[in-house]
Amino acid sequence: MTRSKPPRYFYTGKPGVGKSTIVKGIVEEAKKLGCKAGGIVAPEVRLGGRRIGFRLIDVGRGVEGWLAKAGYPGPRIGKYGVVVEDVERVGVPALEYALQDCDIVVIDEIGPMELAVPSLKEAIRRALESHKPLVGVVHRALRSRHPDMYRLVAGTGRIILVTEDNRDRLLEEAPIVAKELCAWSGSRGG
């Protein structure tokens, strides 16, 4: 039986539970299999034990900028201001590159900060509407804050709740997920 939809895995859960670690593990396993991954990750930045913001990194090419910084005058999400110019310089091209030249799209994460920038929101939408395998993180409040985007995510893939009880098992399954993503991509010629 041929699968008509690309495999999509979205991880959600509380902050710090291991969602990004699982996605990183899947991407590393995919690279071992020869798959090219592209997209965005947004690790937190800490200074003196306090979180001061989030970087934005292009997975495929290594370009970096800021997603958001504490006290920054951009669109506000809690105490953080979104750095629109960096998001447009790093995030949007990263997703365009992933859609054009990569086997797997990575989005960590689909959440209020990323969706605060219309051009990145549109790039995320294009990735979700594409025919590419995708792995990502979904903010736990996406369903209530951005119901249209949540419906799009839920309609294109599997949303998995990460908890302290299942995170180790999900990380152990990274090679299986990576193999599925790569196999689908390879069967479609990219």
pLDDT, tens digit, 9 for 90 and up, residues 158-173:
999 999 999 999 999 9
Residue predicted with more confidence, 3 or 9? 9
pLDDT, tens digit, 9 for 90 and up, residues 70-127:
999 999 999 999 999 999 999 999 999 999 999 999 999 999 999 999 999 999 999 9
pTM beyond 0.75: the answer is yes
CA–CA distance, 10 with 162 (Å, rounded to integer): 10
pLDDT over 90 for what percent of the chain?
93
Structural domains in the chain (count): 1
- What domain range includes position 73? 8-187
pLDDT at 1 over 60: no
CB 106 within 8 A of CB 97: no
CATH of the domain at 150: 3.40.50.300
Instruction: Determine the pLDDT at residue 185.
Output: 74
In 3D, which of 111, 118, 177 has the Cα closest to residue 150?
Answer: 111
pLDDT at 3 over 70: no
Q: Nearest-5° angle of CA 85, CA 148, CA 92?
A: 25
pLDDT, tens digit, 9 for 90 and up, residues 14-66:
998 999 999 999 999 999 999 999 999 999 999 999 999 999 999 999 999 99
Residue 2 lies in a domain: no
Instruction: Determine the pLDDT at residue 189.
Output: 43
35 Cβ partners below 8 Å, 6+ apart? 103, 104, 178, 181, 182, 185, 186
Residue 14 lies in a domain: yes
Radius of gyration of the chain, Cα coordinates, nearest whole angstrom: 16
- Label residues 109-119 b or e (16+ Cβ within 10 Å = b): bbbbbbbbbee
In 3D, which of 144, 147, 134 has the Cα closest to residue 107?
Answer: 134
Residue 3 lies in a domain: no
pLDDT at 137 over 90: yes
